[in-house]
Each structure stands twice: as structure tokens, then as C-alpha cells.
Amino acid sequence: AESWIDAQLAALQGMDNVTVLPRTMVAGVHDHGYALAYERVADHQPGADKPRHRLWRVRAGQIVAATGAIERPLSFAGNDLPGVMLAAAIRDYAVNFGVAAGKKVAIVTNNDDAYRTALILNDLGVSIAAVIDARAEATGDLPAKARAAGIRVIEDAAVRKVEGGKSVTGVQLCRFNSDGGAVFETLACDALGMSGGWSPVVHLWSHCGGKLNWDEAGAFFRPDPNRPPLGHDGKGFVSCVGAANGDLGNEGEAPMLPVWLMPAQASYELRAKAWLDPQNDVKVSDVQLAAREGYASVEHTKRYTTLGMATDQGKLSNINGLAILSDALGQPIPQTGTTTFRPPYTPISLGAITGEARGEIFQPLRKTPMHGWHEAKGAHWEPVGHWRRPYCYPKQGESHAEAVSREINQTRKAVGLLDASTLGKILVKGPDAGRFMDMLYTNMMSNLKVGKCRYGLMCNENGFLSDDGVVARLSEDTWLCHTTSGGADRIHAWMEDWLQCEWWDWKVHVVNLTEQFAQIAVVGPKARQVLEKLGGDIDLSADSFPFMDWKEGHLGGIAARIFRISFSGELSYEVAVPASQGLAFWEKLLDAGEEFGISPYGTEALHVMRAEKGFIMIGDETDGTVIPQDLNLNWAISKKKDDFLGKRGMEREAMVSPDRWKLVGLETLDGTVLPDGALAPLPGKNANGQQETQGRVTSTYHSPTLGKGIAMGLVHNGPERMGEVIAFQSASGGTVSARIVDPCFFDKAGEKQNV
């Protein structure tokens, strides 16, 4: 066999269109021909400058599984004693490694294949005590050869019990079908090979939905060619061949005898010492007890006994266990069925799974379509979730603070561009989508008209704010939810959790489209003129396209969806285009806006401008303990809805207490910038022995628009204390005085965004 394999490998490795992966195990086959393969690169080369393991991701049109078959053990008392081995394993040790399992070996079998082990050992000079055959007559060619070689064959025989303490010293023999298992002989030996037949390795066939048939003659499950794993085209993409397909190459051999327990009518004493799963110590008696306890489902029995739950995942024990359970339930094996085959086929290392997460790619970065442009323009980067966003675009000799001020002034004066592609974009669609949206958001979304946008808040079950963003209704049954950049995956998972675990019968489908679109904010008094210069089929006039509307069409020859929304307080359009055309559209905007001095701006300018308007930021004004009412967002909480996520949490005693910290604006008396996160101390200690406080700073910046420091903060009874001056901790260790003011510092009437 080895010579044949070497020749075939040499031929395959000489072909240009073939990749051979030695020392590689296919761990699992998944949807659409996706296979994971586990390569042991350098396990056999200690000290080599190579990875130990590698995980291959393979997309295959067709998969041929030639995975062979696994020999089954036999169940009899003492079959876990050292020296009891599979007959084929004893053969492999002898042929492949020149190792004898014992000086005097006995073989117990229900099929002809085990005779090959006896013949090979005999040829190599190992003494064979006997071949113990459960069949009434051993009439095949292999038993005849064994007899001709002088090997003793004992028919209609079974191992009643293995003798020995720390190793095999002998076996007690009885008749297979005897009542009570009376011993007729004790056979001396120091090793026992057992063969209970063979089970095709059908795991890869089954991982992706392939079904099985019970083969009565071979006493095993084999692939059903009429029910293969189906690909996206509705056709089978996995084929099993050879022993994996039940073709064991045993034509001409005498039929095997299905044997699940020796002797067939073993007493409880013997059954309690007959092991089915030697890895998890599951005995024949355990499975029989499970049946008596009412665990009629094979999946329940598996969990009750832990049968097949060790690292071999039932490769040795499952068929035997199914047979014992079926016998106890008085039903055929196919009716009992099989447990679920799950990847990986054999264990794989965590290092292989996480292998690419190391060094600079420990956490793979997500990049917008314009990332390369930002990099080329010298952007200073800020981590935002898994993204890197431009913090600012400093020019030669310019500090970051100076760059931020320039970007804000240019945007407020004329026009600026923001890469907003990282914003979450989650599509919610279906007959029950409106009902679902009303449960997700604190305000009503089901009555939002098609073509309109609405700002919304999301809370967790406790009523604490978890995300916010603008929602657009795309059609009668479709909404598009914008989330924070770092929240897209989390909110998508949150939606799926509720749909799959609580509202499983609602007809709603959610899809995370965040990376499918590039989104660009065109912001400032000249924003409309820049877009109009591109040309297209969308009327951008104020009368036709008012604030909080959206439209679809073309701009500059590129399909676009435009949202008239603003996070800066300026006239603003957020334009979504296909990700593949994001960079091209960005460059078209730069060309069109050149006469107005158009300039990109980064996240810090974004934050300053939103703070000037008093707009909250999830993660700044919120910390997991803040409810919408704390941020003066009562207007965004519907009084018409009976329920929404967080409603009951907000109604708890502590949440409705008038004694809460609430959002206010803060201005230092001297115009300086308050430290981020600074606390407002009070005399005395709290119940934890810490400094008593009456508020904290949540956002703080220098505003180039106003020429002074501005801040927002949560202050005890803040909105009722307008004009009051309180002290906050300073960076130097002292305090700085700040006046409580309205959190909106700029254009409170909203005239600029509605122009």
C-alpha cells in the first residue's frame, strides 16, 4: 500500500494544476463547498522556523471524500484492559513499525478481515493463541488460510471476560449465544485484538446535510446517493468513494455477524464491565439504563451518558451504542437514527484557528473605500471599533489642534467632506418589520413615511441607552437603520438575538450592509452647490428636498441614495454609493468643490461641531447607566406605544427619581477647556468612602466657531440649575469654575441646517 501511495503522490506533485497538502486533515465541510483543512506544518520538525499548524480555507466546486472506514471494537467484560486493541491497530503496528503488541496474541472477531492480522503476525513469528470467531461457521478463504498456517480457529465463541490486572493475561471463552455465558475454556495470551466490523467515515458527507442509509449486510451507515449535501445550485457537491461509501473491498469474504455485546445474553455483572466508549467510560449498562430512564432519543442518550462526546466524537463507539440502545428499545437501528456529525473531524489547535491574529494583524483592520486616499493625504488615524478613521488631516508644520480648527472653519464657512462609510447600515425588511422597529426604538418608526428619515434611540432591557442614529423608510416593508461606527455588528447581533430567541415567529429579515456602501457627508453652506455641479437626476432644491428626507437617483453618473440629515448643524447631505465607486465619487466631489475650497475633515472636527450643537454621542454622553431622560431626550420616547425594549426598565423607581444627573452645557468662566471626564466635587464622602460629587464632564472641546472652551456634562438636577457656577477638577489638581448653560451652543433654531 505504501509503495502505491508514494507513486500516486509523486505523479500528483508533478502536475501543475494540482496542489498536494500532505499532513493535512479536512476538519469540516460547510455550505457552498467551503472546507476547512488543518495542516500540521512542523509538528514533526521541532525547532524549525515554521508555524506548527496552518488552517486552509478552501472553496471547492466538487469534493471527493476518500476517507476510508474505521474498525469497530467489540463490547465484552474487561475490554478496556491494557493489551486489548483493535485488530487492525495490532496489524498496523506490526507492518508499519515492526512492533509486536504481544508475544502471544488472541484475536476475537465477527468478520473475515481480522484473519489478516492473525496471518501477518504468524508470518512475522508472533505466536497466535487462537482466532475466536462469533460466527457458527468460519468458512471463508481467510479462515481456511489461517487453519492451513496452523492457526487455531474457535467457532461460535465469544470473550466472556478478559483476565488480568494491569495487563491482559488471558481470556475466558463462552459460546456467543449461550445463556449465562458458561466458560468452556480459558485461553492464555498477553494481547487481544478485536474486530467488530467497519464503519465508513461519513463525517464530511454529513457535515453539510448529506443523509445516510443503513446497510443491513455490513451493519453500518453509508451515504445515500439520492440525498447528497446540496450546493447553492441545488446540486450535490460531495461524493464519497471506496470504503467511505461502504465499498470495503471484501468481496468473496464470508458475511459478517453483527455483534454488539459478548456474550449476546450477558449478565448484568458482565454488562457493567463492558465498555462502549473507553474515552468517556461509558458502559453497555449505562446505555441500557438510559433507555429504562426514558431517554429514547439518541441525542438524549448521548447527553445522559456522554457516549461519543470525547475527542474521538464517537468514531469508535457510536454504532455500538446505537445498537445497544435500539436493542433496549426493541426497535431497529435505522429507527433510532444517528447523532449529529459536527466539525471538526478530529480536534484542531486554537493556534491554527486564530493564527492570522498576530502582530500587526492581531485585530484585522477594516478600511473604507477611501482609506488609501486618506493615508496618501497624511491623515492622522483614530481607532473607532475595528476601523481606523481620520482624526484630522494636518498640513506641513500644522499641529493637530490647528488642523482641526481649520477643518471646522472651512466647513462652517463653505463646505467640507467627511468619510462616514463606517456608520452602521442595517436593513430591516418583512411584513412584521414595522412592528419590530417599534420594539427596537423608543420612538415610533412604523408610522414613518416612505422617503422620510427619523432620529431614533435604542435601549437595552434595563432602559439604558445603547445606540442612536437616523432611520430611513425605504419602502412599505423596509427600513434602513444607521448606527454608530462601533455599534454596527453589536446592534445587528442584538436584532438577530431578539428575532431568533424571542420573536422567532415574526416575519422579519435583517442584513448588515455597512461595508456594501461608501457614505460621504457633504457639509456646509455650499454643499448643495457642490452636488448640483456634479449633475444628475435628483432635485436638490430646498423645497423639493427638505431636511430629514431622502432620495435615490444619480449624481455625476453614479447611482446614489442621498439623506438630508446633519450631525454638524450645517446644510448637509449624506450620500451613499456602492462601495466599489466610493473613491471615484469622493474624487468627483473634491473636483466639484475645488472652487469653494472644499476640504476633508476628520472625526475630531465632527465631534467638535456636534458638541457645538449639543448633539449627544453614544459612548461619550452614555456609559451604560444613562437613560434617554437623563439626556433631555424625552421627546424621542413614544407615549403611544404599549411597549418597547427598555420601557419597563425606565419605569423603575431609581429611573424616575427627580434626583438624577442630567445633561447640560458647561462654559468655563475664563474660556479654557475643561478636562475630559472631570468630576465636580462636593464636600464629604459618599457611602463608599469616596469623594462626593455632583456631576462629570462627558464631552469637552475648544470651539473655533465660538472662540472658547465648551463642554457637556451630566450634573445633579442640571437643567434646573441654569446659570449656576460650579467647580470641576482641573488638570493641575485644583479646580476650575464653569457655568451651567444650555447644551446647544450654536444655531439653536436650526436655521443653518434647514436652509
Burial class (CB in 10 A: 0-12, 13-18, 19+), 686: exposed
| pLDDT value of residue 361 | 67
Residue type at 669 in one-letter notation: L
Model pLDDT for residues 627-676, shown as the tens digit of each residue? 999 999 999 999 989 999 999 999 999 999 999 999 999 999 999 999 99
The x, y and z cell numbers of residue 525, run together, are: 453652506
Domain 424-515's class? alpha beta
Q: Cell 468478520 appears where?
A: 111
Average pLDDT for 396-412 = 97
486 — pLDDT class (breaks 50, 70, 90) = confident
Model pLDDT for residues 86-124, shown as the tens digit of each residue? 999 999 999 999 999 999 999 999 999 999 999 999 999
The x, y and z cell numbers of residue 409, run together, are: 472653519
Residue 136 to residue 145: CA distance in whole angstroms: 18
Mean pLDDT of the chain: 95
Are 577 and 565 spatial neighbours (Cβ–Cβ below 8 Å)?
A: no
What's phi and psi for 329, nearest 5 deg?
-90, -5
Residue 176 to residue 644: CA distance in whole angstroms: 68
| pLDDT value of residue 179 | 67
User: What pTM was computed for the model?
Assistant: 0.66
In three-state form (DSSP H/G/I as H, E/B as E, the rest C), the secondary structure along 731-754 is CCCCEEEEEEECCCCCCCCCCCCC
Model pLDDT for residues 336-391, shown as the tens digit of each residue? 989 889 899 999 999 898 877 777 767 778 999 999 999 999 999 999 988 999 99
Percent of the chain with pLDDT over 70: 100
**Structural fold of domain 70-198+255-336:** FAD/NAD(P)-binding domain (3.50.50)
What's phi and psi for 420, nearest 5 deg?
-105, 20
Greatest CA separation for the chain: 110
For 144, residues 6+ apart whose C-beta sits below 8 A from its C-beta are none
For 160, residues 6+ apart whose C-beta sits below 8 A from its C-beta are 76, 77, 171, 172, 173, 174, 181, 183, 262, 263, 270
Burial class (CB in 10 A: 0-12, 13-18, 19+), 443: buried
Domain boundaries, the chain: 2-60, 70-198+255-336, 424-515
- How many C-beta neighbours within 10 Å does residue 137 have? 10
Are 488 and 514 spatial neighbours (Cβ–Cβ below 8 Å)?
A: yes
Q: How many residues does the chain have?
A: 755
- CA angle, 163 then 278 then 283, to 5°: 80
Determine which of 2-6, 244-248, 706-710 has the lowest per-residue pLDDT on average: 2-6
Residue type at 298 in one-letter notation: V
**Shared fold status for 70-198+255-336 and 424-515:** no
> Which of these, 346, 262, 278, lies nearest to 317 by C-alpha position?
278
Sequence-ordered strand ranges (E) for 224-375: 238-240, 275-277, 282-283
| pLDDT value of residue 365 | 86
H helix or E strand, kind and range, residue 409: helix 400-413
Are 109 and 131 spatial neighbours (Cβ–Cβ below 8 Å)?
A: yes
> Which of these, 37, 39, 42, 20, lies nearest to 345 by C-alpha position?
37
For 92, residues 6+ apart whose C-beta sits below 8 A from its C-beta are none
Given a cut of 80, is residue 573 above it in pLDDT? yes
294 in the Ramachandran plot: left (φ > 0), alpha (ψ -120 to 50) or beta? left
DSSP 635: G
Bridge-based pairing of strands 153-154 and 509-512 is unpaired
